[in-house]
Structure 1
Amino acid sequence: MAATNTLLADLKTRAKALGFDAFGVTRADARPDLRDKLDIALANGWHGDMDWMAESAERRSAPEALWPEAKSVIMLGVNYGPDADPLAQLGERGIGNISVYARNRDYHELIKGRLKELAGLLSRRTGAEVKVFVDTAPVMEKPLAEAAGIGWQGKHTVLVSRDFGSWMFLGAIFTSAELPADEPHPESCGSCRRCLDICPTNAFPAPFQLDARRCLAYLNIELKGPIPLEFRAAMGNRIYGCDDCLAVCPWNKFASQTREMKLQARDDLKAPALSDLAQLDDPAFRALFAGSPVKRLGHARFLRNVLIAIGNSGDAELAPLAEARLADADPLIRGAAVWATRRLVAAGKARALALAFLPREGDISVQAEWSAVVQPVRAD
């Protein structure tokens, strides 16, 4: 036992030196309830178009299902709390609001190498097998982190920490070694429901449940097609992700701005102007977001989001930027440009544009956008 305690102490010391802010251990079989919770979410269709969640359900249901040799799981956390309230930017309609986690390097790349180094130390000291995961395999990191005692899943389903609020990146080390487990963290949300009440699309069917099909972070990142009409106005200027339910969590007041790992936001991604973003071609998009998670979105989906934000801006001076995309080669961009244009220009001009573009439009989804201009759907 003394040797094991020394090992854990050394692992924690090394983890801190590598930049990790939280460390906890749980047994691989500590959450037998995960399969039932996952089955309920899948049966309700809350995963939306993320078919990989259903396809990997068996392996996702438990660490041992993913890797039968797993006996223990070390969960690591990294604080990425912002230095300013991201909710304040939602009122600045001329900028694009990017989720806090995506304003710098892709955290997968930042963390994985350090996880491997820590896992290597464990393997050398014990001879045990190890595997590391940073959102790169069907691992249910948040409930495992709860079991490992580094936080609890809040009513918004995100991990909450007493030390870092709702701002935590998670990584996992699976090992065949049997390590002493930490006590699970009790759920500590109490009667608070701020995260539920602030959601602009009512994406929570109940506390601790998330319907991704209504979540803006799913809609503007994972969804490959047009943003559903009912959610476009609610998107506001959110062009990548949505931090509302995280940012409003009262536990954030305890989050230290001192981080073990350097995760400062890039200045050019804190409040980029929509007028600049709308003019990006594919090479410029790739260059601007090199190393950022935003790059994985691709140019077309990114411009789709920017055009929705332009349509929500209420700024007629941005209308020419939307009009310039009405003839774009990509129908996803064209459709969003139609919606943005008709929100910003006079009805007569919108109708004239529709009569000019609709007859030669070959994509059915873009045709529907133009048809809504020519024959608006009655509100009653």
Structure 2
Amino acid sequence: MQVNSHIDKGQFISQVRVWARELGFSQIGVHNVDLSSAEPGLRDWLSHGFHGEMAYMAAHGMKRARPAELVPGTVSVLTARMDYLPRNTPEGWQSAELARLQNPASPGEGVISIYARGRDYHKVLRSRLQKLAERMEQHLRELSVAGVGSDERDAFEYRVFTDSAPVLEAELAARSGLGWRGKHTLVLNRDAGSMFFLGEIFLNLELPPTEPVSPHCGSCDACITACPTQAILGPGRLDARRCISYLTIEHPGSIPQELRPLMGQRIYGCDDCQLVCPWNKYAQRSTLPDFDAREGMAGSGLLTLLAWDEAEFLRRTEGSAIRRIGHERWRRNILVALGNALHGGKLGVADSVAVRAALQRYADPEANVSDLLREHARWALALPVSDDGRESGVF
């Protein structure tokens, strides 16, 4: 049911902003549940198969654009963003990260997206959104006891989300004024760039919506040009099947051979479209230690990362977003990166020998590895593979 509260909603939102700041959020906004104008774009995107093997993107139909169907009784959505650059991020970090990709300090370095080097953002945001919702609930209860607002003390209902359900997060964020949709489809903010996470609280309390902001990309197309796999087909049009973030995280099987050389040494996610964005010179450091890079997640060599057995992988990625891809997909990504490092012309003789030896251990027909890993190792060594991606001949 909807809460018919007579509280001063402007004052209430001001108080919620204070609580949100205390919990580490950078900004909040409010939108109603009408996303009907986003449905044609969603249908078109799905009809072209741009979601790849992310079946969950299509599984709920248009419910993704209909908050009140996803959570009956919802009349408002509170949106929130949280900056995630690590606290010790130096000035000039964009140039430093681009250099990591183009001329890594270690030619055999594995590159992990900045957002994934710390704690799993799902855990951080969900917990803090829950705390924010509980503070809202407690405040409304106190007002009710004091005789202000609704007499139905248990009527306030909510549900928190962060990249965990069929929710059009970026669209809600843009419509509630947290930023505008950049040409790469991410949300951009004039004061914070795009280096932030998004989350929502679905509410049965009607709140005044916050105003959207106008877009400020102008004629800039740096993100489109910079995409290594040309996954951004045009302004606001992304083919996830070509996106390195999708390939290294969501794609479960064999990575298309024509895309492997374009992945470089990126083994989890990709930041290129954000690194070249002029607005990210304003990106903000997080106030939380959660997003500080963990040991081994920045600057580690590919051979070191490949050497992690499953137990060490699970230990190292405990509480990390990386754990969700599993050990096999982790090794698959590293094998591709090793192939690119091997044939990139930057490895010394000793490093080349070590990389080849590691790849041989995975490519050997007698190796105790999956066909998926063997096939990627053989590709990395430039050994023959058949048209269907299976090994051919004898090793």
TM-score scaled to structure 1, two decimals? Answer: 0.88
Aligned pairs for 1:170-319 (under 5 A) are 170-257=198-285, 259=287, 262-314=290-342, 315=347, 316-317=352-353, 318-319=355-356
State the alpha-carbon separation in 1 of the partners of residues 322 and 289 from structure 2: 21
What displacement does 1:267 show?
3.7
Alignment partner of 1:32 is 2:36: yes
More helix by share: 1
Do structure 1's residue 73 and structure 2's residue 77 form an aligned pair?
yes
Q: Deviations over 1:54-75 (max 9, x none)?
A: 1112211221221231111111
Structure-2 residue corresponding to 1:50:
54
What are the within-5 Å matches in structure 2 for residues 331-346 of structure 1? 331-342=371-382
SS state at 1:104 partner: coil
Kindly state the Cα deviation for residue 255 of structure 1 after the two structures are TM-superposed. 1.8
2:390 is aligned with 1:366: yes
Q: Of residues 354, 361, 385 in structure 2, which corresponds to 1:324?
A: 361
What are the Cα deviations for residues 336-356 of structure 1, in whole angstroms up to 9, with x where unaligned? 1111122xxxxxxx57xx9xx
Aligned residue identity for 2:38: L
Q: Does 44-53 or 77-86 show the bigger shift?
A: 77-86
Tell me if the contact between 1:19 and 1:261 (Cα under 8 Å) persists in the aligned partners: no
Overall identity of the aligned pairs, in %: 39
Contact 2:124 2:290 in 1 (8 A): no
* Residue 93 (structure 2) pairs with residue 88 (structure 1): no
Retained in 1: the 8 A contact 2:125–2:199? Answer: yes
- SS at structure 1 position matched to 2:291: coil
Whole-angstrom CA distance in 1 between matches of 2:290 and 2:120: 12
Equivalent residues in 2 for 1:144-159, closer than 5 Å: 144-159=172-187
What SS is found at the alignment partner of 2:259?
helix
Equivalent residue of 1:78, what SS?
strand
Q: Distance in 1 between matches of 2:316 and 2:7?
A: 51
Provide the secondary structure at the position in 1 that maps to 2:163: coil
Asked whether the equivalents of residues 26 and 182 of structure 1 are also in contact (C-alpha less than 8 Å), the reply is yes
The CA distance in 1 between the partners of 2:65 and 2:173, in whole Å, is 15
Contact 1:195–1:246 (CA under 8 A) maintained in structure 2: yes
- Structure 2: which amino acid aligns with 1:36? P
Contact 2:224–2:233 at 8 Å: present in 1 too?
A: no
1:139 corresponds to = 167
Specify which of 102, 121, 125 is matched with residue 139 of structure 2. 125
Q: Any idea what SS the aligned residue of 1:77 has? A: strand
Q: What is the rounded CA distance, in whole Å, between the counterparts of 1:157 and 1:261 in structure 2?
A: 28
1:101 counterpart (115, 134, 148): 115
Question: Residue 94 of structure 1 contacts residue 273 of structure 1 at CA under 8 Å; is this kept in 2?
Answer: yes
What is the aligned length? 353
The AA in structure 2 aligned to 1:18 is L
Task: Give the SS at the match of 1:182.
Answer: coil
Alpha-carbon separation, structure 2, partners of 1:157 and 1:179: 27
1:258 Cα deviation after fit: 5.3
The residue matched to 1:200 in structure 2 has which SS? coil
Higher relative contact order, chain-length normalized (CA < 8 Å, sep 6+) = 2
Matched to 1:95, the amino acid is E
Out of 58, 65, 68, the residue aligned to residue 64 of structure 1 is 68
SS in 2 for 1:10: helix
**Could you tell me whether the CA contact under 8 Å between 1:58 and 1:65 is conserved in 2?**
no
C-alpha separation between the residues in 1 aligned to 2:49 and 2:40? 14
Gaps spanning 5+ residues in structure 1: where?
Answer: 343-349, 359-363, 375-380
1:13 to 10, 15, 18: 18
Q: Is the contact between residue 194 and residue 280 of structure 2 (CA under 8 Å) also seen in structure 1?
A: yes
- Counterpart CA distance in 1 for 2:244 and 2:286 is 29
> Hey, what does 1:347 align to over in structure 2?
none
RMSD between aligned alpha carbons? 1.9
Task: Provide the C-alpha distance between the structure 2 equivalents of 1:166 and 1:267, rounded to a whole number of angstroms.
Answer: 25
The secondary structure found in structure 1 opposite 2:232 is coil
- What residue identity is the alignment partner of 1:90? L
